[in-house]
Amino acid sequence: MSKEDIVNQLSKECSSQGIDITKASLGKLHDIFMETIKNDLNRKGEIRLHGIGTFSTAISKERQCRNPQNGEIMTVPEKKRVKFKASQALSSTLNNKEKASAI
């Protein structure tokens, strides 16, 4: 789902509930939300979104691998990566179980 898709969906939902907000404002809100998540994840190492799941950071250790194009051994440096663990409510929704109403 792209940013445009999210903004359009939010716009429809807001309109149906009588909330008057422009798509431009929703786009800015989306940008602020995403920037906040990135900054907090970088600073704290974990973000929990109730009913959605938990984003966390982990360090991938330096490792050796083989370049498939030429067979050369190369070193992949250590790096920070993002992990996501879905909440039980989200998993239930995706699997059409009774707890789907918890979101």
**From 8-12, 22-26, 49-53, 92-96, the region with the lowest mean pLDDT:** 92-96
pLDDT tens column, 13-65: 999 999 999 999 999 999 999 999 999 999 999 999 999 999 999 999 999 99
Q: What is the DSSP string of 9-55?
A: HHHHHHHHTT----HHHHHHHHHHHHHHHHHHHHHHSEEEETTTEEE
For residue 101, pLDDT over 90 is answered with no
- The model's confidence at residue 96, banded by pLDDT at 50, 70 and 90, is confident
Give pLDDT, residue 100.
46
Residue with the larger pLDDT of the pair 101 and 43: 43
